[in-house]
Homo-oligomer: A and B are copies of this chain.
C-alpha cells in the first residue's frame, strides 16, 4: 500500500464514523477547531513565515505573496469562517421525499454524505481550513492536497484541526493532508478510486484542466468563467453601463467577472461611449470588433479570434456588436463556458427567451454576473462554483456535498 492509499483507507474508516456522528458532535468538533486555530495561531503564523521566506527567495510576485501571507487578522477571518459554517443547517439526515407505495412499502430519500472528498488547490492557505470545515459539516472526510508554496502553513493548520477533532471525540483522519507536493502525488490522488468519492479542484484554469484531463475519480469541475453581458436593443442603457462596469471591474480576477460585452447594433453608437465613460476610470483595455472600433475609435485594439474565448481575469474587455438577441445567444453558445451570462433589457419576451435558451449555471436579467456566489445565493458558504451539469451546477454549498440513499420500511414485502 502506498502512503496515499493508507491515507485513503484511514479516511474511508473515518468517514463511516463521521457519517453517523450527528450535528451536535460535528458542531462541537468545528468549535474545537475554531478555538484551537485561535489558541495556536502562533504556530500557524510561524509556519506561514517559513513559506513566505521560501517564496520570497524563489522570487514570487508580490500579488501571489499577498495571497500566501497570513497574519492575526487573516487567521481570525479563517476562524470566523469555521464558526459560520458551524452555524449553517446540517443537510445530513434530511428526508428529501417520502411516501407509501401501493404495496405498503414506505420509501424515503435521505440526504447522506458523499464519503471522502479530495480537494486539490494552489497557494491560498485559507482553503485548507475553509474546505475542511465545509466537508466536516456535511459529514465528509477530506483529503487535502495544497500547493507546495503553502505547504508549511497547510501542515500546521491540518495538525491543529486533527488534534481538535480528536479532542472532540472524532477520528483525526476526518481531515488529512497529502504530505508530498510533487506532481506525482497529485496524479496518484486523481487515481485514488476506491478511496475517493469525488475530487474538487480549486484554482486556476490550468489546474482544473489538468485534473479534468487526468483524473479517474469523479471530478466536479469548478470555476472557469468566460461570462458575457448582452446589451439588448431595448435596454436601459444607463443600467446596462453600470452593470457592465460592475461585472468587469468590481473584481476582475474572479470567475464571475464579465469578459465580453455583446451590444445590439441599434444601440451600439449610444451605448459604447456611455460604457466607456465608466470603464475608462479603471483604464480597461477594450478589444473590439470592427464596428466597436468604428464607434469608439482606432485606439480600441482589434479583437483576434482567441480574445472571444479568453478568461482575461484582468481589466480587459472583449466587445462585439451583434444583430440582436439571436446572434448574442449563438455567440454565447459558441464562446461561453456555461458559468454566468446576463442580458440587460426592458423587453419581457426577450428576457424570458434569454433565460430559457441560454445554457449556463446562472442566467441573469438586469443584474451583474458578479452575484454568482454561494453567499450571495443564500447558501451560506461555498466550496466552489460548478460549471458542469452533473451532480451540482453553480455555487456549491453544503447540500451539493451530499448524496442520497433510499431507506425502505417494509412489513415483509416480497416481489
Contact = CB atoms under 8 A, between A and B. Distances in A.
Main secondary structure of the interface of A (DSSP, over half): mixed
A198 B366 CA distance: 32
A368 B216 CA distance: 34
A198 B221 CA distance: 14
Contact of A112 (B359, B376, B388): B359
Nearest to A101: B378
Contacts of A368: 410, 413-415
A377 B107 contact: yes
The residue in A193, A361, A390 that gathers the most chain B C-beta atoms within 10 A of its C-beta is A390
A20 B391 CA distance: 21
Given A243-B412, A366-B412, 15 more contacts: A107-B378, A115-B389, A198-B390, A239-B412, A243-B414, A362-B406, A363-B407, A367-B414, A368-B413, A370-B414, A390-B390, A390-B391, A391-B391, A393-B404, A394-B406
A105 B367 contact: yes
Nearest to A395: B406
B16 A371 contact: no
A236 B411 CA distance: 10
15 contacts: A16-B359, A99-B378, A105-B376, A107-B378, A197-B389, A197-B390, A245-B414, A250-B414, A363-B406, A365-B408, A365-B409, A368-B413, A370-B415, A372-B406, A390-B391
B359 A405 contact: yes
Contacts of A134: none
Contacts of A245: 414
Given A101-B376, A371-B413, A363 B408 contact: yes
Contacts of A366: 409-413
Copy number in the complex reads: 2
A333 interface: yes
Interface string A110-130: 001011000000000000000
A212 B193 CA distance: 10
Interface in A209-251: 212-213, 216, 218, 220, 236, 239, 242-243, 245-247, 250
A398 interface: no
A355 B388 contact: no
Contacts of A371: 105, 408, 413, 415
Interface string A251-291: 00000000000000000000000000000000000000000
A360 interface: yes
A184 interface: no
Nearest to A404: B393
A406 to B, nearest CB: 4
Contacts of A239: 412
A195 interface: no
A381 interface: no
A403 interface: yes
A246 B365 CA distance: 55
Contact of A246 (B105, B408, B414): B414
Contacts of A198: 389-390
Interface string A14-57: 00100110000000000000000000000000000000000000
Contacts of A393: 403-406
Interface in A338-382: 355-357, 359-368, 370-372, 376-378
A16 B250 CA distance: 33
A409 B365 CA distance: 5
